[in-house]
Amino acid sequence: GAGVSQSPSNKVTEKGKDVELRCDPISGHTALYWYRQSLGQGLEFLIYFQGNSAPDKSGLPSDRFSAERTGGSVSTLTIQRTQQEDSAVYLCASSLGRVGTDTQYFGPGTRLTVL
Amino acid sequence: RKEVEQDPGPFNVPEGATVAFNCTYSNSASQSFFWYRQDCRKEPKLLMSVYSSGNEDGRFTAQLNRASQYISLLIRDSKLSDSATYLCVAHSGYSTLTFGKGTMLLVSP
């Protein structure tokens, strides 16, 4: 069946521009997560959705970062006024239900480069 | 102190060798643990969960030592296809998983 998909796969933008990253989770998965991974670094948690609500957004690095999820499905991560340090691979994952119990399935990621 | 720590490696081993990775976690409230595998420029994929009693899946064995707060992964009879980065993951009972930075394994012919 279809896995987690993300778009675009690559995004190059200029410093100061806004970008929007999209995640389509596996159908029926209620939990959705955003992470980012910088070169040589581990996965950094950004935000977690259960349904359309975000009970944990503690990982968002600044108020330039926001995310929403609609219809319990698609999620978008928006980065405003991008900075060079925002360059990373942004990974989305989904799981059937409870985090820590149900397997997280990752999408292929969006590679963001801020020039 | 980082919540989940791993030796970054790389571990260079020949085919057929046995190799073990350890991972330590700082949050004693962590309840469940996992090993993920990540190939170069690919997304992480679940390799196996780690149970208190230890568990085995083919050539892979995972162990948990709660007293010392570490998790291990043993790979027997290494294959070339095992070359990847292995991520240790802890779940603390809140909503998120905490990933280590990973241990790189390189298996050579």
pLDDT digits (tens, 9 = 90+) for B25-57: 998 888 889 999 999 989 999 999 998 888 999
Is B21's pLDDT higher than 90? yes
Structure tokens at B56: 């085995």
Provide DSSP, A21-80: EEEEPPTT--EEEEEEE-TT--EEEEEEEETTEEEE-TT--STTEEEEE-TTS-EEEEE-
Is A34's pLDDT higher than 90? yes
Contacts of B97 in chain A (CB under 8 A): 33, 45, 99-100, 104
Is B1's pLDDT higher than 60? no
Q: Return the pLDDT at B2.
A: 66
| Summary mean pLDDT of chain A | 92
Q: Do B97 and A59 touch (CB under 8 A)?
A: no
Among partner residues B43, B46, B94, which is closest to A56 by beta-carbon distance? Answer: B94
Q: Which of B96, B98, B103 to mutate to test the interface with A (most CBs of A within 10 A)?
A: B96
Q: Do A42 and B93 touch (CB under 8 A)?
A: no
CB pairs under 8 A between A and B: 50
Among partner residues B31, B45, B95, which is closest to A106 by beta-carbon distance? Answer: B45
Is B91's pLDDT higher than 70? yes
Is A46's pLDDT higher than 90? yes
β-pairing, B103-108 vs B11-14, is: parallel
Ranking A67-71, A107-111, B29-33 by mean pLDDT, the lowest is B29-33
Collapsed DSSP state (helix, strand, coil) of residue B33: strand
Contacts of B91 in chain A (CB under 8 A): 99-100
Cβ atoms of A21 and A13 closer than 8 Å: no
Residue of B46, B100, B42, B95 lying closest to B70 (CA atoms):
B100
Q: Do B97 and A107 touch (CB under 8 A)?
A: no
Please indicate whether residue A72 or residue B105 has the higher confidence score (pLDDT): B105
Instruction: pLDDT band for A100, please (50, 70, 90 cuts).
Output: low
Residue of B43, B101, B76, B19 lying closest to A111 (CA atoms):
B43
Q: Do A108 and B42 touch (CB under 8 A)?
A: yes
Q: Return the pLDDT at A39.
A: 81
Whether residue B95 lies within 8 A of chain A, CB to CB, comes out as yes
Cβ atoms of A112 and A11 closer than 8 Å: yes
Q: Do B96 and A91 touch (CB under 8 A)?
A: no
